[in-house]
Structure 1
Amino acid sequence: MLLKEYKDHFITALTPDYGLDEASSFFYLVLHHLHQLQRIDLVLQPNFQLSNEEIVVWNGFLEQLLSHHPIQYLIGATSFYGLSFHVTPSVLIPRPETEELVAWILQNHAAKPPISLLDIGTGSGCIAISLAHHLSNTQVYAMDISSKALEIATSNAALNQVEVTFLEQDILKIENLGNQFDVLVSNPPYVRELEKQEIKPNVLEHEPHLALFVSDENPLLFYRKIAEIALRSLTPEGKLYFEINQYLGAETVSLLQELGFKNIHLKKDFMGNDRMIQASLR
């Protein structure tokens, strides 16, 4: 079968679930993954043939996508802040909103002297590695409870040729970090159980719930714990950054005020949702 003919079949099958644009983007991601071809190559090679064996492989991807498996897990990779990252079902797939958090930190610290930075709940390592890539001579540390996540993050640091010190720790079970940091950043679990109905099947059924959900009764559990540790672990001029639940912006600000943080800034993401917070000790 001609590849261009299979393309029509692939996109037509996925369009009812994903829409034409996303179905098309999936085709080209799989095309590059399986054949190392780009969109232009399909134009330049209109008679490119797929063997029966290759069609079987393509059909496997199609079936997985129809079952709402994330494309990033199927090809084992994604991009974040201009860098490439390995991803598996052991880690959350990095989101565009988190890129905005990275950009905010870089905006505030790129022109300053080298700093010491800790990313709590690093997952794939996307925040820590992106910051290490762009902040020269900065000591970057990253913590996660999951050994499998840390394996992925370590491979991503090597892939992007940056130095990050990874720590396997449960942040809820420690009282002191043992070091002082100029920047603490975290994108902890923040989706409440009551919000599950808003989550798309590809996320709900395939991404790690440990990194996503918190109880309805104590949704700011991680924010309180990390903020309490930050009171003891930030340098005097240090800053704390969070990605937050869009519905709990005011509550998260109130929590930080209650704990004594100053200069608290709540920032919206590109969708207009409350998404990130910066705070300092003075």
Structure 2
Amino acid sequence: MNIDDFRADFRKQLAALYEPEEVENLCFLTLEHVLKMNRVEISLSRKQNIHPSQRKELEEITARLSKSEPIQYITGSSSFYGLDFKVNPATLIPRPETEELVAWIIDDVAQGLLKGEAQDTLRLLDIGTGSGCIAITLAKNINKATVEAVDISQNALATAYQNAKANGVKVDFYNQNILETQALDEVYNVIVSNPPYVREQEKAMMRANVLSNEPDSALFVSDQDPLIFYRKIGELASKSLAPAGALYFEINEYLGKETVALLKNIGFTDVVLRKDMFGKNRMIKACMA
């Protein structure tokens, strides 16, 4: 079997599960992982024969993909903001829209919007860090930043710690249930969170590979109180943000207006709702003045 033969078989096996463009992307990701070649090298080596041991690994991955297992969990890694992150079923797979949230923060820092004149460094807190992708990316891209991150899952924190080490940054990780937290210990220039926000009623709209593999505790909230995390984090942030600081959220696209109203009710006076690359209400920045 050569590379072209594998690609043809791969398309046939997964055509019923994924759109053609996604099948093509999954095929390249699978080949890159097993053959240790990039896409250009693969495209230039279409008639290259595949070693039997590599063929077996390719077939095993294809079988797992046919059962809707995410490619990121199969390979154990995911790309985010140009960095590589270990991921596993204890962590969410980083999304492109979350990269936009991180870019917003990095841009605000570059413009000097988040710290007073007397401050030498920024203190940042990521709540519900998961793989650590937000905290680590901020630490990597913001000079002289002190970055902390919390999560309720010890397994997620273990993965986040490995990711920080692999990406050469220092992040202080803490095991913490934010819903049971009475007050934050420090004053922060930036508090950011991508908390659980998918309502139970929205499960029917989600793909099987997400429902069957990614952690429920990082995804879902009850239909009765879908803004529970935003309310709690907003209340904590209102007492722990530096004067020029800001709170950033990734949000449920269907609850943008409700989330803005909640934050204003808490006391945030400058609340900005922003759309993502797909035109969905997906991000909020909130300041006290």
Instruction: Place the TM-score, normalised by the shorter chain, in its bin.
Output: over 0.9
Structure 1 CA distance for aligned equivalents of residues 260 and 47 of structure 2:
59
Q: Select 1:122's aligned residue among 129, 143, 151.
A: 129
Deviation of the 1:32 alpha carbon: 1.4
1:96 aligns with 96
RMSD, aligned α-carbons: 1.3
Secondary structure in 1 matching 2:17: helix
Within 2, Cα distance between the matches of 1:51 and 1:12? 21
User: How far off its partner does 1:12 sit?
Assistant: 2.2
Distance verdict in 2 for CA 1:43–1:246, change over 3 Å: closer
State the distance in 2 between where 1:46 and 1:270 align: 34
Instruction: Output the TM-score relative to the length of structure 2.
Output: 0.94
Instruction: Say which SS state the counterpart of residue 270 (structure 1) adopts.
Output: coil
Partners of 2:184 and 2:42 in 1: how far apart?
Answer: 53
AA of the residue aligned to 2:86: H
5+ long unaligned stretches in structure 1: none
- Structure 2 counterpart SS, 1:17: coil
Which stretch of the first structure deviates more once superposed, 103-112 or 34-43? 34-43
CA contact (8 A) 1:15 1:23 kept: yes
Residue aligning to 2:185: 178
Report what 1:56 is aligned to.
56
Distance 1:226 1:43, change over 3 A: closer
Give 1:158 deviation, angstroms. 1.1
Residue in structure 2 matched with residue 258 of structure 1 by the alignment: 265
1:31-84 superposed Cα distances (whole Å, 9 cap, x missing partner): 111110123323443442224333222111111111110011111111111111
Q: Which amino acid aligns with 1:91?
A: T
Q: Cα offset for 1:141?
A: 0.5
SS of corresponding position for 1:141: strand
Tell me which of 203, 209, 215 is aligned to 1:196. Answer: 203
Q: Tell me the equivalent position of 2:215.
A: 208
Residue of structure 2 equivalent to 1:40:
40
1:131 — aligned with what?
138
1:105 aligned to 2:105?
yes
Q: Is the 8 A contact 1:4 1:42 kept in 2?
A: no
Percent identity between the two aligned chains: 47
Q: Within the alignment, does 1:18 sit opposite 2:25 as a pair? A: no
Q: Would you say the 8 A contact 2:35–2:54 is kept in 1?
A: no
Which position in structure 1 is the counterpart of 2:226?
219
1:2-17 pair list within 5 angstroms = 2-17=2-17
Distance 1:257 1:55, change over 3 A: same
Q: Given that residues 114 and 135 in structure 1 are in contact (C-alpha distance below 8 angstroms), is that contact kept between their aligned partners in structure 2?
A: no
Asked if structure 2 preserves the Cα contact closer than 8 Å seen for 1:91 and 1:124, the reply is: yes
C-alpha contact (below 8 Å) 1:144/1:170 kept by paired residues:
yes
Q: Distance in 1 between matches of 2:13 and 2:200?
A: 32
Q: Distance in 2 between matches of 1:114 and 1:253?
A: 29
Q: CA deviation at 1:271?
A: 1.0
Q: Greater shift after overlay, 106-115 or 64-73?
A: 106-115
Aligned residues of 1:249 and 1:266 also touching (Cα < 8 A): yes
Q: How many residues align?
A: 282
Query: 1: CA distance between counterparts of 2:107 and 2:59?
Result: 44
4+ runs of 1 displaced by more than 4 Å? none
Equivalent in the alignment of 1:270: 277
| CA distance in structure 2 between the aligned counterparts of 1:23 and 1:46, rounded to whole angstroms | 17
TM-score, with length taken from structure 1: 0.96
- AA partner of residue 203 (structure 1): V
Equivalences for 1:53-92 in 2 at 5 Å? 53-92=53-92
**Rounded Cα–Cα distance in structure 1 between residues aligned with 2:190 and 2:39:** 41
Measure the CA separation in 2 of the matches of 1:47 and 1:66. Answer: 25
Q: Deviations over 1:175-214 (max 9, x none)?
A: 1111110110000000000000011111111100000000
Describe the superposition over 1:65-114 as per-residue Cα deviations: whole angstroms up to 9, x where unpaired: 11110011111111111111111111000111111101111111124353
Separation of aligned partners in 1, 2:270 and 2:122: 20
